[in-house]
Amino acid sequence: MIKDKMKTKNDQTLEKFLSSSPGSLEYITLKSELKRNLIDPGILERSDRTSEALRKEASTILDAFEAITNGMYNPEVSNFIETVPDDSLLSYWKELIFAIQAFYKKDYIEMVDRLEKIDPGSALFKFKPVLLHLSGKDQILSTNNKQKKFIDTIIKDRSFIRSVITEIIESLEYDMEDLFLETANLMLQDLNRNYKEPAYRFAVWSIETASRYKYSPTNLVTTCKNIFGNTLAYRLTAIALEKEEPDISLLFWIQSLISRLKSRDLTLEETGAYFTIISRLSEKIQTSQDKFYLESLSGLIKTIKYELENKFSHISCKTTDSNNPFEELIQLSANYSGLEENRFRVNSLKTSSKDVACSGRIAEQEAGFRPGYVSTPANKSKTCSSKPVQLTLFD
């Protein structure tokens, strides 16, 4: 109720502020009041009367706050909000975001410097004692209910992550496949409940790591299908396996495209982006002689042609007769991947989510562990998995 009243007051103050004459006493007073009490930058984004520049600032601040509190980091967004001037309505939000970022980096000097720039009379100043308490800089002797709940939640979450990362490190160091897969599965499901983007990143890392260590990623891929749905699971797996097992990655890219085509929400440009990736992989691995693999690939090509004809009937799916399915894919790709704008689509397809840094950053801070940088044992081959992904996953 109090929060709703605060939002309503912010909305009213904003309307008065936008109606006042810039430079007037009323304008200066309302701007100061709004800046101190702004608990939702979204009102600036939603208002039809907000300037385009301020609306862009608000949108970026909202994205950055969501990302940083989910354990993610986007350097482009950080560079932009750093340019938000000190007299902006959103300057306290800027300082809070950088303070939280510094907290996760354990750069407590930077954190304190940022917090000092937030007006003690502002709504966001309430975060200061909590962050100081969590960093060990200044303990809160008597926490209120909201502070206690917030602190307990963060401490509990970080303790869980710390224990999980420790288990993952040990499982890889001692080559304990079952422990690694079980722990990664639990972590993946837990992340997905509250942190979708980090869950996508962790899925890619865990499948790639399983493949690199010659563990079967099948259970992880199945988990991804169950929690993310087939379409996204296929794409995440394709990304994860592209380096270690490009032949299997190709199958998942094709299956991801088929799944998207069946949903009927795929644009021609996105289809072209898929085919750009598919064509590159086909050129890279077209020497494969495995009979079962080639039969699986040929079956997927027939399916993709059928779906393409249903979706884009004005574009030919014909290819010259060839016993080489890789060559057939390359020919098929030429009909769809020639658009210049596909370059940008390809970049979006080949990231597991938004353009953000790896979600393992919290793990780095808590356990000194950097996903993707665990050394592979000397007796482990990096060429392919001895227990490959089962193609029945496409059923």
- Range 220-234 average pLDDT: 94
- Range 216-241 average pLDDT: 94
Binned at pLDDT 50, 70 and 90, residue 358 comes out as very low
Cβ within 8 Å of residue 361, ≥6 positions away: 71, 72, 73, 104
Cβ within 8 Å of residue 136, ≥6 positions away: none
3-state secondary structure the chain: CHHHHHHHHHHHHHHHHHHCCCCCHHHHHHHHHHHHHCCCCHHHHHCCCCCHHHHHHHHHHHHHHHHHHCCCCCHHHHHHHCCCCCCCCCHHHHHHHHHHHHHHHCCHHHHHHHHHCCCCCCHHHHHHHHHHHHHCCCCCCCCCHHHHHHHHHHHHHHHHHHHHHHHHHHHHHCCCHHHHHHHHHHHHHHHHHHCHHHHHHHHHHHHHHHHHCCCCCHHHHHHHHHHHCHHHHHHHHHHHHCCCCHHHHHHHHHHHHHHHHHHCCCCHHHHHHHHHHHHHHHHHHCCCCCHHHHHHHHHHHHHHHHHHHHHCCCCCCCCCCCCCHHHHHHHHHHCCCCCCCHHHHHHHHCCCCCCCCCCCHHHHHHHCCCCCCCCCCCCCCCCCCCCCCCHHHHC
- Range 136-145 average pLDDT: 72
pLDDT 10s digits, 121-130: 999 998 898 8
Report d(CA 350, CA 379) in Å as an integer: 30
- Range 266-272 average pLDDT: 88
- Range 135-141 average pLDDT: 74
Binned at pLDDT 50, 70 and 90, residue 336 comes out as confident
Mean residue pLDDT of the chain comes to 79
pLDDT 10s digits, 347-357: 556 654 433 33
Between the CA of residue 317 and those of 117, 331, 347, what are the distances in Å? 61, 9, 25
- Are 356 and 74 within 8 A, CB to CB? yes
Higher-confidence position of 220 and 337: 220
Lowest mean pLDDT among 15-24, 100-109, 244-253, 384-393: 384-393
- Range 45-52 average pLDDT: 85
- Range 365-382 average pLDDT: 37
